[in-house]
Amino acid sequence: MNIALPDALRAFVAQRVESGEYGNTSEYVRELIRKDQREQRVQRLRALVEDGLASGTATADTRDDWAELNAIADGRGQ
């Protein structure tokens, strides 16, 4: 994979590598990708929490709810 960067960004990446925090440019790029992946997971979790909060007031689980969850976990239910 080849990536074209403007001179200013190329210099910035070189500076980060020269700082010793990264062994080479590829290491730096891999770390940026990992950070982006983590951020995507955090955004997804936030969206799920917001969906949950917007879904209304929580209700207590019943024995039937737990039976259904156990059946799903055991592969017996949907």
Residue 76 to residue 32: CA distance in whole angstroms: 42
Burial (CB < 10 A; 0-12, 13-18, 19+), residue 11, is exposed
pLDDT in tens, 12-56: 999 999 999 999 999 999 999 999 999 999 999 999 999 999 999
Please check whether residue 3 is in contact with residue 29, taking contact to mean a CB–CB distance below 8 angstroms: yes
Residue-level pLDDT at 77: 64
Entry pTM: 0.67
Q: Is the pLDDT of residue 64 over 90?
A: yes
Q: Domains in the chain, please, with CATH? A: 1-54 (1.10.1220)
